[in-house]
Amino acid sequence: MIGYLSYFKTRFNAGLQYKVAAVAGLLTQIFWGLLYCSIYQAFYSNTSIPDISFKEIITYVWLNQAFIALIYINVKDVDILKSIVDGTVAYELVRPYHLYNWWYIKLLAGKLSSCLLRFGPILLLGFILPAPFSLSLPYSIISFVLFLISLILGTILLCGILMIIHSVAFFTVNYKGIFSISCQLMALVSGFVIPVPLLPDIVKKITYFMPFRLIGDLPFRIYSGNIGINIALMDILLQFIWIIIIMIIGFSLMKRALGKVFIQGG
């Protein structure tokens, strides 16, 4: 346990080294935030959508940009993939820890440190922006608490999903194709590109059978009150269930991979 904790701290600190990347990321996120705001303004000026109001959408946009590090699926961990491809993973196997936990911690620490470097300035900007584009305060205190809980659970779920995607590298020679395609599709049905309430009905129905909307879409809509407390509690329960399912899949996938692994070269 102490080893895992120590590794988390080390990875978290190492992640905080990348300040230039964080500044670059910040600027990108602010740009996208403003762009999305303008698009939705144009969109909402002619229509009204009963599922989600303009104010809720703007809040969604800024939260999405502020917490992008915690919810964005399409980020590979180059160290992990490289170690699988070039065989450095051999070293991980001569250590007294379980590889699943180890890599999970690396992913989680990376996400948290990356988020810590970015979310403050974006939230601040969102709050000080003038009226139509400004980030609203949480709908209620209970909504805010549930938002925090579901955001944390969403991040835990995301790392579990990423573990499955990364494990695939054990089974293929070139992971890049499968990685890009699956991540794009998952981003689409997670509400990252377009919030789930704005998706076509058929796609919306599909998202409810998948875990991806529980990563970011759920917490952001709880925050703005778009999802009420009762449904929020049900969805948080659903997050727990999906976390267990995803972790069991990832764990057994890795077990299978390590059973048949052969390390090439050297």
Partner 1 sequence: MIEVKHVSKTFKVLKRKEGLKETLKAFIKREYKHVHAVDDISFTIKKGEIVGYIGPNGAGKSTTIKMLTGILNPDSGTIRVNGIDPFKERRKYVKNIGVVFGQKSQLWWDIPVIESFNLLRDIYKIDNNRYKKTLEELVSLLKLEDIINTPVRQLSLGQRMKCELAASLIHEPSILFLDEPTIGLDAISKLALRKFIKEINKTKKVTIILTTHDMSDIDALSNRVIVIGKGKKLYDGSLSKLKKDFGGNKKLEIIYNKLEEIPKDIKIIKKTKNSLLIDLDGKNSSDVISKFVNICEVKDVNIYEDNIDDIILELYKEYNL
The distance of closest approach from Cβ of residue 5 to partner 1 in the complex, given in angstroms and rounded to an integer, is 8
Number of residues that bind partner 1 (CB under 8 A): 26
Task: Please identify, using beta-carbon distances, which residue of 49 and 263 lies nearer to partner 1.
Answer: 263
Binding span for partner 1 by CB under 8 A among 20-28, 46-54, 90-98, 151-159: 90-98
- Largest Cα separation within the chain, whole Å, is 64
Does 177 engage in binding with partner 1 (CB under 8 A)? no
For position 87 contacting partner 1 by CB under 8 A, the verdict is yes
Q: In angstroms, what is the minimal distance from the CB of 192 to partner 1? A: 28
Minimal distance in Å, beta carbon 85 to partner 1? 12
Q: Which is nearer to partner 1, 7 or 32 (CB)?
A: 7
Query: With respect to partner 1, which residue has the nearer C-beta, 13 or 28?
Result: 13
Q: What is the 3-state secondary structure (H, E, C) of the chain?
A: CHHHHHHHHHHHHHHCCCHHHHHHHHHHHHHHHHHHHHHHHHHHHHCCCCCCCHHHHHHHHHHHHHCHHHHCCCCCCHHHHHHHHHCCHHHHCCCCCCHHHHHHHHHHHHHHHHHHHHHHHHHHHHHHCCHHHCCCCCCCHHHHHHHHHHHHHHHHHHHHHHHHHHHHHHCCCCCHHHHHHHHHHHHHHCCCCCCHHHCCHHHHHHHCCCCHHHCCHHHHHHHHCCCCHHHHHHHHHHHHHHHHHHHHHHHHHHHHHHHHCCCCCC
3 versus 132: smaller Cβ distance to partner 1: 3
Least distance in angstroms from the C-beta of 97 to partner 1: 6
Beta carbon nearer to partner 1, 131 or 260: 260
For residue 87, the minimal CB distance to partner 1 (Å) is 7
Q: Is 17 in the site for partner 1 (CB under 8 A)?
A: yes
Residues 92-151 that bind partner 1 (CB under 8 A): 93-98
Which pair of structure tokens corresponds to residue 144?
A: 């805010």
User: Would you tell me which residues interact with partner 1 (CB under 8 A)?
Assistant: 2-3, 5-7, 10, 13-14, 17, 86-88, 90-91, 93-98, 259, 261-263, 265-266
